[in-house]
A and B are shown apart, each in its own frame.
Chain A
């Protein structure tokens, strides 16, 4: 683990160092070049902002209103049938919606169930293998002003669902628990 995390710490600094030195060797005005590229950032963020706002407001409201708990309740019944710990329900629901919230939920699951429990292992795999889909959609579509998304959203939604089922099955297979 030590070497792996060391490598991951080194990637960004080395990559930036290499880029700068390479540009310098190629007689590129690195500083001016960097600044002219960075200038584009403001426009991008301004364009993305209203989309981000819409999705953040909706997700926060959904959580605060109790609608989220209701959806959890529905899923609990279903998961009980397949001997999946009910504690993984919140993570499965929150991961596609919000990155920071899912991290909080995950930490809480590990704290209450213990790090080596089935619930924690399943949640860990879901955390690593699922993406905050709606955030990605809002940011990437917003950045280029796409209005008609054809069949993208249903595909992402269904793929997320299957992804979570895959994660649960794999953990059950690997750790022979439950």
Chain B
């Protein structure tokens, strides 16, 4: 992330200068700061809300009844996590939320999953393979039906807005497979 950030910032100042608009750079960083605050306020609400709900799910024991199949899949994927560890549950819930396109629920559950993964290695500042695995699956954005996109296509008078569902699913699935394969391949090479 360090390299990415330095690249973005240095390129921005350089290009603003070349385009003769250094004031545009200054304006944009304040705008960026403002939207960070707006997004955080939004996050504060939904993260707290979903953490509250997940606590009820945990304390009532509902967690043990939820999503048997996915839990099985998650256990197979994350072999190094003890099967009864809370991380398995939060990862499962996050994947399910992503699958149904519930972005607002997926992020808070994902944060919880990261914290549960961290609990397995409490004092490290270095990322674990399980965390990488979890993030890679998340950035592949596995989603069954892209509602927002279909909505926009329909708004502008598409003949068949849902025609993109199958190609999207296939693209998501293939790119997720590729990302996972790449992650495992890099681990093998670096070992």
Contact = CB atoms under 8 A, between A and B. Distances in A.
Interface in A116-139: 116, 120-121, 124-125, 127-131, 133-134, 136-139
B114 A144 contact: yes
Interface residues of A, number: 94
A162 B143 CA distance: 18
A41 B44 contact: yes
Contact of B47 (A44, A52, A55): A44
A22 B60 contact: yes
Q: How large is the interface on B (under 10, 10 to 19, 20 to 34, 35 or more residues)?
A: 35 or more
A109 to B, nearest CB: 10
Contact of A158 (B8, B31, B167, B182): B182
Given A129-B168, A137-B135, A139-B111, A60 B52 contact: no
Given A37-B56, A146-B126, A156 B139 contact: yes
Interface of A: 1, 4-5, 8, 11-12, 16, 19-20, 22-23, 26, 28, 30, 33-42, 44-45, 48-49, 52-67, 70, 103, 106-107, 110-111, 114-116, 120-121, 124-125, 127-131, 133-134, 136-141, 143-153, 155-156, 158-160, 162-163, 166-167, 170-171, 174-175
11 contacts: A26-B61, A38-B51, A41-B52, A41-B108, A65-B25, A106-B152, A115-B153, A128-B141, A146-B126, A159-B140, A170-B174
